[in-house]
Amino acid sequence: MIIEKLVLLTEKAARILSFYRDVLALPVIRSEKDSFTVQVGWSELTFQETGDQPAEAYCYHFAFTIPENKLEEAKEWIEALVPIGTEAGQDVSYSESWNSHSVYFEDPSGNILELIARHTMDNGVERPFDPQQDILCISEIGITTSDVPTAVDQFAELGIMTYRTRNDNFNPIGDDNGIFIVVGKGRRWHFTNKTAESFPVHVTVRGLGELYLVEGEQGLLIENKK
């Protein structure tokens, strides 16, 4: 599943533009008064202001894939710029079932970012880590809902199936290239003290089109515009 475009909401685009442009060194494609878009490998990431002040600050979790053999170098790069997340005294997450290593950090608005090296992918490089070349794509976005199994069934109707592990509160769907992390409200995000809340997501998936995802009274609502 190729995530081509991801649009997320923010209270103040200007507050985080410099982080993505200057700290992460992601090329800016577009910048307006209330939004901006950066290039993330083959993906585009947009932050859009709503004009309304939400009851809670927007907080999304998303991940960038890096070459599978560059986690340690990527960690050295990012921890020189921002604090990285820890859990049980560890600052690197290893998933045996996914065969991956990750580091976590936050942007100035509190969004939870992840650099993930997926050892199932043949994308290693034999040169020093370079963020401008080696942040390859957006490969994960967290989707929070009150009813995970029903949401997963809806995605299955679109052809997006469970990835490796699942339960009623945590069910990744997709494949190594792109994953929706479907989680229950209130579940703690890995390597943080933050809990998952529902915020609108607009994502474009190659071959599937645009998906507008918003939590309603009865669970996740999915609108697909091809």
Neighbours of 223 (CB within 10 A): 10
Instruction: Write down the pLDDT at residue 44.
Output: 99
The answer for residues whose C-beta is within 8 angstroms of residue 1's C-beta and 6 or more apart is: 160, 174, 175, 177, 178, 179, 205, 206, 208
Q: What is the pLDDT of residues 73-128, one digit of tens each?
A: 999 999 999 999 999 999 999 999 999 999 999 999 999 999 999 999 999 999 99
* Closest CA relative to residue 147, chosen from 195, 60, 218: 218
pLDDT at 196 over 80: yes
Length of the chain: 226
Burial of residue 146 (CB within 10 Å: 0-12, 13-18, 19+) is middle
CATH 3.40.50.300 fits 3-225, yes or no: no
Instruction: Write down the pLDDT at residue 165.
Output: 80
Instruction: Write down the pLDDT at residue 53.
Output: 63
What is the pLDDT averaged over residues 23-38?
A: 97
Residue type, 58: Y
The residue behind tokens 């699942």 is 166
pLDDT at 133 over 80: yes
Instruction: Write down the pLDDT at residue 54.
Output: 64
* Closest CA relative to residue 131, chosen from 29, 4, 205, 24: 24
Separation between Cα atoms, residue 207 and residue 2, nearest integer Å: 8
* Per-residue pLDDT band at 51 (split at 50, 70, 90): confident
pLDDT at 213 over 70: yes
Domain boundaries in the chain?
3-225
Give the CA count within 13 Å in the CB-facing half-sphere of 153. 6
Q: What is the pLDDT of residues 143-181, one digit of tens each?
A: 999 999 999 999 999 999 999 888 999 999 999 999 999
Instruction: Write down the pLDDT at residue 226.
Output: 78
Instruction: Write down the pLDDT at residue 109.
Output: 95
What does pLDDT average to over the chain?
A: 96
The radius of gyration computed from the CA coordinates of the chain, to the nearest angstrom, equals 17
pLDDT at 55 over 70: no
Separation between Cα atoms, residue 190 and residue 202, nearest integer Å: 23
Instruction: Write down the pLDDT at residue 202.
Output: 98
What is the pLDDT averaged over residues 203-220?
A: 97
pLDDT at 36 over 90: yes
